[in-house]
Structure 1
């Protein structure tokens, strides 16, 4: 490939490191990732649930001196991880639902990645419970379009749309991008390895007590979610999130228990229209074709939502948002003592989102007849009792 084609997978803004809870934080501020290890991650029981960190939370967390990063600090960092993992699911679902042929290679790739993200959300929720916290999921629900949660990588705007090549590049690949992409033949950044070495060394050196009470076990997104009981479990959990998203420093295919490329490179295959292959010059998108699918032309959801939608569209939007809000409420309840049955109920309810979403994607917008509506993913307030 030419130099131009090698660079064309770059998002409109510089990519940020995978959303592992503290690697993301370090890259968001340009701080060396090595300082982001939870060296003081003690785990006393939480006396109250954490509030959603909000914009700029990452920078505030990193401003805390290492010696002062205690239990509350690590719980706050993990709540940022909850927000970041949750923020990926709605845009990926919109891309998947817009593909007409669900048996196509692209549809199957996106569906697998959605499942991974649901699993990652479960992992970080269990990690937060393990160190004495309680995930705040509905409070973390993002508004689209908007920045990534916590102030991570200013300049990336996450929006909802049907699948297009710009959407793949500027949202999907921008979310998952590693600090250095293997397909650009760049040398791996030493800070990535330093960060994970220091992070895991801190856990092993500190050996914090981990509680399994309140953690959940359930089949989520194609994987078995299990409680984090030991430091080995912590290590594996962090590595799963990192490697499934961005791959390793040596290969986009080195991940746990499957031969699929990491998310960033899978999205790259959709964008470039070719499978990723290792060549004498490094990793290139030169494999068999990956045809771009026929899609429902869902337009990007504008700021503030669809203006003046017709009555039948408004009803579908409300129906979708009601189901979505129920999912979020049920997830909150699951990690607040509801247990695996409640988590299973949330996963089951989530399947009901597809019907109204696809129906919206098949309704033309009056002022843009070549485009269709789509879900807004708005979290409705729970009714007062």
Structure 2
């Protein structure tokens, strides 16, 4: 069973505890390969096809004088997809850790909570400017690039926690604007994208409507309607400080002294806490032991080849059906369902962990030493009875 921590009353946009078990994102095309082939085929870098629609590069190429309300709506919908895309890979890493009391499990669970809050913030922002989040439609396919073509070369896949997974997926997604070692940027960064949105808000000064925005506890924090430009600025600042595209250094932790996600993942990868030394920031602090994990293999393109085991097929379907319910109810929350629909989504989220862990404890017959895991395949919504 998922742990559900207490929900303290806090001020809007403050740091918070994590809502255990959350999930949104993904889908899958037709099955083409097994996990062994998928693991061998996963590149550390290289060109990946950018999405046909919603390209961040195309949006950022629009002159600032042309970035009006419609531009903001398009950009915020891409942001919905970006926030969605982070959650399934982080959940897979978290669920694969056997000891939930470990420091690594605590860090990953906190970060998943942050991403759920970010998704809620950008959904409220989109509603504020007259749009409506298309959450299920934005669910990305794994493995694949980040939505909008940001961070070209990053291949996001689903797997159990390992050091290569932390480096190639988690740290690659969260790479800050000014990392400890900065590489040449060949595509728009997430931080630049959010900065462009904030500048457009401050320039256009659109009328902001609270109608349809959601007020609710998300991950233990209060999600409140965004009523003015000060709220807009603070909301975007939180997303940038905590996660993808932070412009801060490790010396600038956000509230509760938690480091931005990139640096937290770095502590898992290097096995040491980050500390400032005479030679700059280095991972030389107290040990961060790498945990014992369930050996979930990378989910191949198209998902797992149809298992012969009926129990495994049932677990995969149960997870995907529950995941699809989560997406449908999240869509409903920002389509007039409000906090009741969001509560229903949170309830459905709690049902994801058990089949996911059971899959991670089931051996793959053709890949000794590896187990199955969730595919995050979005199922079509069944038609209503006439």
TM-score using structure 1 length: 0.81
Partners of 1:215 and 1:243 lie apart in 2 by: 23
Q: State the 1:106 CA deviation.
A: 0.2
Q: 1:115 to 1:139 in 2, by over 3 A?
A: same
Partner of 1:163: 161
RMSD between aligned residues? 2.5
Partners of 2:255 and 2:112 lie apart in 1 by: 17
Is 2:349 aligned against 1:343? Answer: no
Q: State the 1:72 CA deviation.
A: 1.3
Q: State the 1:261 CA deviation.
A: 1.0
**Unmatched 5+ residue regions in structure 1?**
1-10, 15-27, 30-52
Partner of 1:57: 55
Structure 1 counterpart SS, 2:92: helix
Partner of 2:181: 184
Mapping 1:7-26, distance limit 5 Å: 12-13=44-45
Q: 1:173 to 1:200 in 2, by over 3 A?
A: same
Please give the per-residue CA displacement for 1:240-265, whole angstroms capped at 9, x wherever unaligned.
00000158545325344221111000
CA contact (8 A) 2:176 2:191 kept: no
Partners of 1:107 and 1:294 lie apart in 2 by: 11
Q: 1:149 to 1:197 in 2, by over 3 A?
A: closer
Give the aligned length.
335
**Unmatched 5+ residue regions in structure 2?**
1-42, 184-188
Structure 1 counterpart SS, 2:273: coil
CA contact (8 A) 2:240 2:247 kept: no
Is 2:276 aligned against 1:278? Answer: yes
Partner of 2:19: none
Partners of 2:367 and 2:63 lie apart in 1 by: 52
CA contact (8 A) 1:247 1:261 kept: no
Q: 1:96 to 1:308 in 2, by over 3 A?
A: same
Partner of 1:251: 249
- Which protein is richer in helix relative to its size? 1
Partners of 1:325 and 1:248 lie apart in 2 by: 31
Is 2:168 aligned against 1:145? Answer: no
Q: Bigger relative contact order, structure 1 or 2, given CA contacts below 8 A and separation 6+?
A: 2
TM-score using structure 2 length: 0.81
Partner of 1:43: none
Q: 1:332 to 1:207 in 2, by over 3 A?
A: same
Partners of 1:332 and 1:129 lie apart in 2 by: 12
Partner of 2:126: 128
Q: State the 1:224 CA deviation.
A: 1.4
Structure 1 runs of 4+ with >4 Å offset:
53-56, 191-202, 246-250
CA contact (8 A) 1:146 1:157 kept: yes
Structure 2 counterpart SS, 1:258: helix
Partners of 1:76 and 1:244 lie apart in 2 by: 23
Partners of 1:179 and 1:62 lie apart in 2 by: 16
Partner of 2:233: 235
Partner of 1:364: 363
